[in-house]
Amino acid sequence: MSRPPSSMDVVEDVELEDDAPLAKRRRISDRDGCEAAHSSTCAILKKLWFSDGDIVLEIGKKLLKVHRKRLRCSEIFSDMLHLPQPSETDQIDGCPSVIMAGDALVDWEVTFDWIYHRSDFLSQAITFDILSGALRISTKYEIPDLRAWGRKQLTSRWPIDIVDMRLNALPHAAEAINLAQECAILEILPAAFYALSVQKFRCGADGGRSHMMLSPNDMRRFIAGREALQDVLMRILIDPLAEAGCTPDTGAGCTRCVLRRAAYWRTRLAPDARSPYGTWLVRELDAMLHDDAFAETLCTDCLHAHLRTVRWRLGRLRGAMPSFFLL
235 neighbors 259 (Cβ within 8 angstroms)? no
pLDDT at res. 314:
97
- What pLDDT score does 203 carry? 61
Q: Enumerate the β-bridge partners of residue 96.
A: 91
CA distance 119 to 130: 15
What is the pairing mode between strands 40-49 and 62-66?
parallel
Give the model's pLDDT for residue 114: 98
Smallest CA-to-CA distance from 25 within 105, 101, 91 is with: 91
User: Is beta strand 55-59 parallel, antiparallel or unpaired with respect to 95-99?
Assistant: parallel
Partners of 98 in beta bridges:
57
SS3 of residue 26 by DSSP = strand
What is the rounded distance in angstroms from the CA atom of residue 327 to the CA atom of residue 325? Answer: 5
| pLDDT number for residue 82 | 87
> pLDDT tens, position by position, for the chain (327 residues)?
443 333 333 333 334 444 544 444 333 333 343 333 333 588 999 999 999 999 999 998 999 999 999 999 999 999 988 887 776 666 888 888 899 999 999 999 999 999 999 999 999 999 999 999 999 999 999 999 999 999 999 999 999 999 999 999 999 999 999 999 999 999 999 999 999 999 887 766 565 566 788 999 999 999 999 999 999 999 999 999 986 555 555 444 588 899 999 999 999 999 888 888 889 999 999 999 999 999 999 999 999 999 999 999 999 999 999 999 999
